[in-house]
Amino acid sequence: MSRGSAVLRRLTAVAATAALLTGMSAVAASPASAQQIVRQTTTRGCEWTTGVGQYWRVKADVTVAQIAGTSTRWIESATNARTELSGFTFGVRESNSVASATIQGGGVSVRISGSAVLNYGVPTPFGTIEWLSQPISCATTYSVY
């Protein structure tokens, strides 16, 4: 191994580490084929709304890998599946929430789904009086092609 290629390999590793630490996608050389793999992580999911400024979402962080200079892409990972309730949530509580992200077709797509129960209530000095419980769910499929 020449000294120049060892230095280049070390610089590539340092640059990839710095890119990952700053939240950028990393470019790493594959030693077997000398192809570059580019990875990018985005958040995907679906949303449910009551129409009064209240939103319930199911999300997952999806990492897509691509061989640089080609159209070859695949879903490398789907992590951190979660639910969230946002917007005007006074008197609303989420319970029994479940979220999942499953890679399908050998990395061609990912199915993100979740469910929960929204409990609507009126806060009182003695606790919240619940007057309605509504089951909710949503699902979506994200594909790289």
Q: Are residues 15 and 50 in the same domain?
A: no
Q: Report pLDDT digits (tens) over 16-65.
A: 444 443 444 444 444 545 589 999 999 999 998 877 889 999 999 999 99
- Distance between start and end Cα atoms, the chain: 39
Q: Are residues 71 and 129 in the same domain?
A: yes
Q: Are residues 85 and 67 in the same domain?
A: yes
| C-alpha span between 77 and 2 (Å, rounded) | 35
Q: Are residues 116 and 53 in the same domain?
A: yes
Q: Are residues 137 and 85 in the same domain?
A: yes
Give the phi and the psi of residue 32 in degrees, each rounded to 5: -75, -40
Q: Are residues 28 and 61 in the same domain?
A: no
- With contact defined as beta carbons under 8 Å apart, do 28 and 18 qualify? no
Q: Are residues 47 and 94 in the same domain?
A: yes
pLDDT of residue 10: 47
Question: Who's near 116: CB < 8 A, 6+ residues apart?
Answer: 56, 83, 94, 95, 96, 97, 98, 135, 136, 137
Q: Are residues 25 and 87 in the same domain?
A: no
Of 12, 78, 72, 9, the C-alpha closest to 43 is 78
- With contact defined as beta carbons under 8 Å apart, do 94 and 56 qualify? yes
Q: Are residues 65 and 136 in the same domain?
A: yes
Q: Report pLDDT digits (tens) over 55-106.
A: 999 999 999 999 998 999 999 999 999 999 999 888 888 999 999 999 999 9
- With contact defined as beta carbons under 8 Å apart, do 115 and 137 qualify? yes
Q: Are residues 62 and 122 in the same domain?
A: yes
Residue % of the chain over a pLDDT of 70 = 76
Q: Are residues 48 and 119 in the same domain?
A: yes
C-alpha to C-alpha distances, 123 to 58, 129, 132, 136, nearest whole angstrom: 26, 6, 13, 22
| C-alpha span between 85 and 67 (Å, rounded) | 37
Full-prediction pTM beyond 0.75? no
Segment 134-139 shows an average pLDDT of: 95
Query: Following DSSP, what letter does each residue of 51-63 receive, concatenated?
Result: SSSEEEEEEEEEE
Q: Are residues 54 and 80 in the same domain?
A: yes
Residue % of the chain over a pLDDT of 90 = 57
pLDDT of residue 86: 92
Count of domains in the chain?
Answer: 2
pLDDT of residue 145: 84
Residue 115 belongs to domain spanning: 39-143
pLDDT of residue 136: 94
